[in-house]
Amino acid sequence: MPQAPDIQALKQKAFEFRKEILETLNLAGSGHPGGSLSAVEIMVALYFYKMQHRPTDPKWEDRDRMIVSKGHVSPVVYVTLANAGYFPKEELKRFRKMGSFLQGHVHVKTPGVEFNTGSLGHGLSVANGIAIGAKLLKKSFRTFCLMGDGELQEGSVWEAAMTAAHHKLDNVCAIVDYNQVQENGLISDIKNLEPLTTKWQSFGWHVLSVDGHDLSVLIAALDQAQATKDKPTVIIANTLKGKGVKFMELQAGWHGKAPNTQQLKDALEILERV
């Protein structure tokens, strides 16, 4: 078990990660800020509190597995992995450049990435497979799966949800980044997910709905998920797309667009401490 978390230190990481995400996107000239900024606290809570992992030994067989099913949020993944020590931070400058192992969508060429994603709706099935494997091998590592809210509109997610409950995969923890916005607009306008908590419950899951920007409650939810037996847990993390940069928040226009140099400057000036 990890030590009691230093919430102030984790918050400081989240602040720095947002800055590095924006800088990384600006240098690349393309990529996905909105769903990266909304997932910062989720990634910090996982990689700097909950997960058992060894950045200097990424293939350690007892490591917890993380499947980033919304593979377009590579900026937050790479900033997290670099800061955790999987590869030098200098590499972030080569994000989306030819020959770099930091591709636009997460890829196993990157140390610390478990599975290639980008085509939405597949990650939970992969997580289930890994978790079934762990049970067969009597291994105690856990598998986490980060999904987008728009991603939940994919039918394959719900097939996987049934599978996890049927097999009582209490070693799976899904996290939904419920940032309210998909590629082209609000979830509630395009295809509403509500009532989301009862939907997951009816599929046999233990459900926790939390403020996805509050590191203390995220951490408590991750602990509760681990303590829950015979059922998979989903943490519905209520977030804001673009969190931390007021002019990006809830704006579908910032789903897949890099800030130019002036926009980067403006964003860094107003960057919020969450």
Strand order from edge to edge, sheet including 143-148: 65-68, 143-148, 172-178, 233-238, 206-211
- State the minimum distance, in angstroms, from the CB of residue 130 to ligand TPP: 21
Under DSSP, is residue 155 helix (H, G, I), strand (E, B) or coil? helix
Which residues touch 134 (CB under 8 Å, ≥6 apart)? Answer: 140, 141, 142, 143, 171
Classify residue 108 by its DSSP letter. Answer: T
Q: Which of 91, 149, 154, 214 binds Mg ion (CB under 5 A)?
A: 149
**Of 179, 233, 238, 263, which lies in the binding site for Mg ion, with binding defined by CB under 5 A?**
179
Report the nearest approach of ligand TPP to the CB of residue 80 (Å): 15
Please provide residue 92's backbone torsions phi and psi, each rounded to the nearest 5 degrees: -60, -25
Please select the residue that binds ligand TPP; options are 5, 31, 33, 34, rule is CB under 6 A.
34
Q: Is 223 in the site for ligand TPP (CB under 6 A)?
A: no
Q: Which partner in Mg ion, ligand TPP, none is near 63 (CB below 5 to 8 A by kind)?
A: none
Binding mask of the shown chain, residues 238 to 257, with x at each position contacting ligand TPP by CB under 6 A: ---x-------------x--
In the list 20, 23, 64, 149, the residue contacting ligand TPP (rule: CB under 6 A) is: 149
Which of 228, 37, 233 lies closest to 127, judged by CA?
A: 233
Of the ranges 92-100, 117-125, 216-224, 225-233, which one interacts with ligand TPP (CB under 6 A)? 117-125
**Rounded distance between C-alpha atoms, residue 33 and residue 74, angstroms:** 9
Min dist CB 226 to ligand TPP, Å, is 24
- Between CA 182 and CA 188, with CA 184 as vertex, the angle to 5 degrees is 55
Closest C-alpha among 39, 44, 203 to residue 124: 203
Window contacting ligand TPP (CB under 6 A); options: 28-36, 52-60, 164-172, 202-210: 28-36
Q: How many residues bind ligand TPP (CB under 6 A)?
A: 20
Residue 179 binds ligand TPP (CB under 6 A): yes
Does position 148 interact with Mg ion (CB under 5 A)? The reply is: yes
Please state whether the peptide bond connecting residue 195 to the residue before it is cis, i.e. omega within 30 degrees of 0. Answer: yes
Residues of the shown chain interacting with ligand TPP in the complex, contacts defined by CB under 6 A: 32, 34-35, 70, 72, 118-121, 148-151, 177, 179, 181-183, 241, 255
